Structure 1
Amino acid sequence: MTDSALSQLKKLTTIVADSSDLSAIEQFRPLDATTNPSLITVAASQPNNRELIEAAYHQAKSEGLVHDALIERTIDILTVKFGVEILKLIDGRVSTEVDASLSYDTEATITKAKELLALYKDYGVDQNRILIKIASTWEGIQAAKALEAEGVHCNLTLLFGLHQAKACADAKVTLISPFVGRILDWYKKAENVDHYPIEQDPGVLSVKAIFDYYKTHGVKTEVMGASFRSTEQVLALAGCDLLTVAPNLLAQLYEDQRTVTEQLIAPTAIAQITTELSESEFKESIQHDLMASQLLQSGIDGFIKARDQLSALLRQSFGENAELK
């Protein structure tokens, strides 16, 4: 019997679960897992996670916090608690995201990252098992650069182009997450196209270009394709360092019997990067890339909205003690 497409893919690429669904992670047993505010909010809405929510709230309350500060601290604690539970089910790392509202504030991002790491330390989790997830703004990348210099591993997310990837390489970040599906969605809408052949898929091509650039220049930063719309997109990037995949697509790959072949093969490194991208060059590149600028901002806005939804859920759950002043 032929191995499933998922089994074959795992021999070529590290598969990461893009989920905060503990049952799905337990089922597919990926090496690593990624979370984001949207996934945490969905998971927090599930009745079987009520105990985690209550524990997070009471821990925050025990610190003497009230009102907005109580809710914000509860969200951070809950986010870390999900990470701790995920780490019980996997052998690798979990990505935990900094509040997206801090995406344009370098110092605040650094502070929040250290607060999250301190929570993980309180739960006895080794720092090397955590990836601090930060949006790929200039300010976010500089925060990651400072954190990496202190030994904190970072995952730069909401990445849509080579200019962001170059800045991340300059910052020597541990890992980047270029988004495949969102790029495809944008081009389908912008060009009024219903479908692209997989060999012309703009999201897949973007990740391939970043992968080739990194490997050609000997960049150690890992490339993790993210935000997939189909198993075809996932398999088109077989051979990428890592791929983070939602449970529904993991299930489809598990049932798929097609033969999987390596699509991304690292070229021989020929030249180190000698010049770093400046802030003005980075921001000019973003400004002139309509797709990247729109998707970066909409992604940040979406994660802020998800955190606001979680905040509303907590206020509803815990009543007047969590009300605004």
Structure 2
Amino acid sequence: MTLTALNQLKNLTTIVADSSDLSAIEKFRPLDATTNPSLITAAANQSENLELIESAFAQAKNENYEGDFLIERTIDILTVKFGVEILKLIEGRVSTEVDAALSYDTKATIAKAKDLLALYKKYGVNQDRILIKIASTWEGIQAARALEAEGIHCNLTLLFGLHQAQACADAKVTLISPFVGRILDWYKKAENVDTYPIDKDPGVLSVKQIYHFYKQHNIKTEIMGASFRSIDQVLGLAGCDLLTVAPNLLAELEKDTRVVEAQLTANHAHAHCEHDLVVLNKESFKHALENDLMSSQLLQGGIDGFIKAREQLSTLLRQSFGVDAEILA
């Protein structure tokens, strides 16, 4: 019997579903799953999730929240409720994202992370099954440092450069999510190129560089490639610690029968690392980010996109439950 590309890939890499679509997760049965505000908003628009939305709103109202606070609390509860439902379908962990509007506020990020974990605890979920997802700003990485010191596991997302990966390693975060597809999109636009061969794909090469750096220096932080545009990109990173893949690409991989070989191995990494282990402070991190146009633009663009998705969900909930926005002086 011929193994599908997906089955072969699962022998080399932990496959994670990049989705809040419960039916897709049930179909593909990944070990882990990731969510983000865009995915939560998309799932909230599906009629089959109406009961989850109504119960989240009722819970927030029973906690005596009103107006804007009622909507914000409903979003947090709904986000956790999706996580709980996902965890019923998988054996591993789910990533749950902190409000992207807090990406430059370390204390607020820590507080929100603990609020989300408290909600999970109410539903009987152990925090070891949760990865708190935080944008890879300097402030977000420092929040993750503090959370990890308390045993709270974090997934640093919107990661586009080695300097971000270095800072995450120093903070001893559990996992990072470098974004493959968004890097490719940026370079295609910047260089006016339609396509790249996979061995020159800027997104794939970025993850390979981080992988080689981590393995060369025996860094325990897990690397999870994310934001894929094609199954060629996915297979180009076969052997990476984890890969989080959207359901449409998982379906393509399930139909593909090509031979899949490891493109990343720890042994291979030791021969391909050209960067020394350095500890970045706030000034050097921000200097590196400011001098990397791709990373700085994509980081801020990603944060803005997640804020917009949360605002769209807020609008949907207001319309559904007749909640007027408060006018703040």
Give your verdict on TM over 0.5. Answer: yes
Structure 1: how far apart are the matches of 2:296 and 2:181?
Answer: 16
Normalized against structure 1, the TM-score is what? 0.98
Q: What does residue range 3-14 of structure 1 map to in structure 2 within 5 Å?
A: 3-14=3-14
Q: Which amino acid aligns with 1:20?
A: S
Deviation string 1:204-246 (CA, Å, 9 cap, x unpaired) is 0000000000000000000000000000000000000000000
* Aligned structure 1 segments of 4 or more residues deviating by more than 4 angstroms: 268-275
Question: 1:218·1:269 contact (CA, 8 Å) conserved in 2?
Answer: no
Structure 2 residue aligned with 1:314:
317
Letter in 1 for 2:281: S
CA distance in structure 2 between the aligned counterparts of 1:111 and 1:60, rounded to whole angstroms: 18
- Tell me the amino acid that sits aligned with residue 278 of structure 1: N
Mapping 1:1-325, distance limit 5 Å: 1-267=1-267, 275-320=278-323, 322-325=324-327
Give aligned pairs, total: 324
Name the CA distance, whole Å, in 2 between partners of 1:91 and 1:23.
Answer: 16
Percent of counterpart pairs with the same letter? 75
Q: How far, CA to CA, are the matches of 1:186 and 1:163 in structure 2?
A: 18
Q: What does the per-residue CA deviation read over 1:52-73, in whole Å, with 9 as the maximum and x for residues that have no partner?
A: 0000000000011100000000
Query: Over aligned residue pairs, what C-alpha RMSD do you find?
Result: 1.4
Native 8 Å contact 2:134 2:144 kept in 1:
yes
- Tell me the CA shift for residue 269 of structure 1: 6.2
Secondary structure (helix, strand or coil) at the match of 2:134 reads: strand
1:171-212 CA-to-partner distances (Å, cap 9, x unmatched) read 000000000000000000000000000000000000000000
The alpha-carbon deviation at position 274 of structure 1 amounts to 6.3
How far the C-alpha of 1:323 sits from its partner, in A, is 4.0
Is this contact kept in 2: 1:16–1:245, CA < 8 A? yes
Structure 1, residues 285-307: CA drift from partner, whole Å, max 9, x if none?
00000000000000000000000
Instruction: Output one character per residue of 1:86-136: Cα deviation in whole Å (capped at 9) or x when no partner.
Output: 000000000000000000000000000000000000000010000000000
Give SS of 2:151's match: coil
Contact 1:35 1:95 in 2 (8 A): yes
Deviation, 1:278, is: 1.0
Measured in 2, the distance between the counterparts of 1:291 and 1:150 equals 33
Alpha-carbon deviation of 1:276?
1.5
Aligned AA (2:135): A
Conservation of the 8 A alpha-carbon contact between 1:36 and 1:96: yes
Letter in structure 2 aligned against 1:304: I
Letter in 2 for 1:32: D
Structure 1: segments with no counterpart, 5+ residues = none
Alpha-carbon contact 1:228-1:234 (below 8 Å) kept: yes
Instruction: Measure the CA separation in 2 of the matches of 1:276 and 1:291.
Output: 22
Q: 1:259 to 1:275 in 2, by over 3 A?
A: closer
Q: Which runs of 5+ in 2 are unaligned?
A: none
- Provide TM-score, normalisation by structure 2: 0.96
Provide the rounded CA distance (Å) in 1 between the counterparts of 2:276 and 2:293. Answer: 26
Contact 1:181–1:228 (8 Å) recurs in 2? yes
Change over 3 Å in CA distance of 1:109–1:277 after alignment to 2: same
1:10-43, Cα deviation, whole Å (9 max, x unpaired): 0000000000000000000000000000000000
